[in-house]
A and B are shown apart, each in its own frame.
Chain A
């Protein structure tokens, strides 16, 4: 299995909802990443987990809460989002830089 699987592919949520995005990989990669991408912009790093520990948090608002329950799974919990949080949320994983990155196909989130 050489894929990063993200679910759901599309999500529409209200500003008072609580939802979660899920990312899964079974390549044995020990680093996992969340990126946010607005239309026609490059991806912006949100969080990095390395060996299941949060190693980078790029000053992301607390309404985004990451969780890494095990080495194969990465969640992003969403609560009280704003319409400007609507974007494509991409998950990626890597073993180390020599093996490159694998990206998921993303979750397109719309906050209404």
Chain B
């Protein structure tokens, strides 16, 4: 069993839809990261959470420490949001990565 589980694995949405990606983890964490990876490789750090909720533009990330669960929401999705979204639990000295959610937003 992976230390970090994400769902769904693949997601296709129409432009404008509200999107939710879920992440559950089993390790003790210092922080939970949401990362974005576009085709071609580079990873961008979207959020780092240790409690509560963060918002950046159309992206919202929440975490429930007691339930060991985090969600990434995208409001008014756009084709440029198409990417792989990776949840990563940081224990203080290393990451445990989820397997990623591949999002495709259709115009």
Interface on A for B, CB 8 Å cutoff? 37, 40-43, 45, 48, 55-56, 88, 90, 92, 97-98, 100-106, 108
Contacts and interface: CB of A to CB of B under 8 A. Distances in A.
Nearest to B90: A97
Q: How large is the interface on B (under 10, 10 to 19, 20 to 34, 35 or more residues)?
A: 20 to 34
B42 A105 contact: yes
Given A43-B97, A106-B42, 6 more contacts: A90-B41, A97-B30, A97-B92, A100-B31, A101-B95, A103-B42
Contacts of B30: 97
Contacts of A98: 31
B45 A100 contact: yes
B24 to A, nearest CB: 15
Given A42-B99, A45-B95, A97-B92, A103 B43 contact: yes
Q: Is the interface of A mostly helix, strand, loop or mixed?
A: strand
